[in-house]
Amino acid sequence: MKPFFAASSLGAAITMPICGFLIAHFGWESAFYFTGIIGVMWSVAWFAVVYDTPAQHPRISETERNYLLKALPQENNTKGHMPVPWRSLLLSPPVWAIIITHGASVFGYFTVVNQLPTYIESILHFNIKHNGLLSSLPYLGKYLCALASSVLADSLRRSGRLSTTAARKLFTGLAVGLPGILMVVQAFLGHDRVWSIAIFTLALTINGAVTAGYLGNGLDIAPNFSGTIFGMANTLSSFGGWLSTFMVGELTKKHNTYEQWQIVFYILAGTYVFGALCFVCFGSGELQPWNSPKAAEPNHKQEEQPLNEEKA
């Protein structure tokens, strides 16, 4: 799961300099053709090689299939459909800690990924080729930090130095809180080219530690409904993509000055810090009791009744 989450940052780190080169030499349309073709190729590969279970895959060896069937949990085959305990889920503070923190973190991420090239070009005055390369640096840093922090967090948990709750809160607090502080620094030093790129790179690099924090936390608190929790969190955070674009457009549409961008940085700082505090206060790494609703309990009681009568 963790390499999967980190891979989006690696994709941005690779794509941005390539698109900068394409735009400079072949026009802006070439960037869309390039990314569109890559997306279609990846989709074809995905549908060709991905199956629901190892047993359904037609192109793996019997040895690999048997190993995967033994290594992977097969509980879903016997449980059947498990109804979502919506009331308990929606009233759970750890769930809302994940949703709010994810929304705050991704709002900052979207603002940087969508608006950083504009800021580099209009305020720092880099050309488009340098723009693509410089814009990719924070995402490369985020990818590397995501992998390193995940390994470190797992090591601390295995050794018993940190509980799951402590590890999730520590890495979330650092990954979401520190970028907020750095956005305040950016508001004061962001007019300088070197300082600005360094601060953006450091902020997004540190944010990569969310993979060791809240990002996989749904599996800790409710593995049976982690997909539902992540879907709720992702729905809110997707709205942040539109909101960040609208916010920057409204704040900078008149003159696009550094002073207007300072307001953007202060809003980002507040959003990051708010998200970090929410998770530190309400987050948890403990399995929630509503993770295993007793949907099959009536059936078991009906089956046990004849046995009890026979004994009587």
**What is the pTM assigned to this prediction?**
0.77
Among candidates 266, 109, 273, 133, which has minimal Cα distance to 197?
133
41, pLDDT greater than 90: yes
pLDDT tens-digit series, residues 67-96: 878 776 555 444 456 788 999 999 999 999
pLDDT of residue 58: 84
What is residue 310's predicted lDDT score, i.e. its pLDDT? 43
Residue 283 gets the label, from left (phi > 0), alpha (psi -120 to 50) or beta, of: beta
The mean pLDDT value for 113-140 works out to 72
* pLDDT of 306: 47
Measured distance CA(308)–CA(293) in Å, rounded: 25
| Sequence ranges of the domains in the chain | 85-292
Residue, of 237 and 6, whose pLDDT is higher: 237
Instruction: Provide the CATH number for the domain formed by 85-292 in this structure.
Output: 1.20.1250.20
Q: Per-residue pLDDT tens for 281-310? A: 999 999 999 998 764 444 444 444 444 444
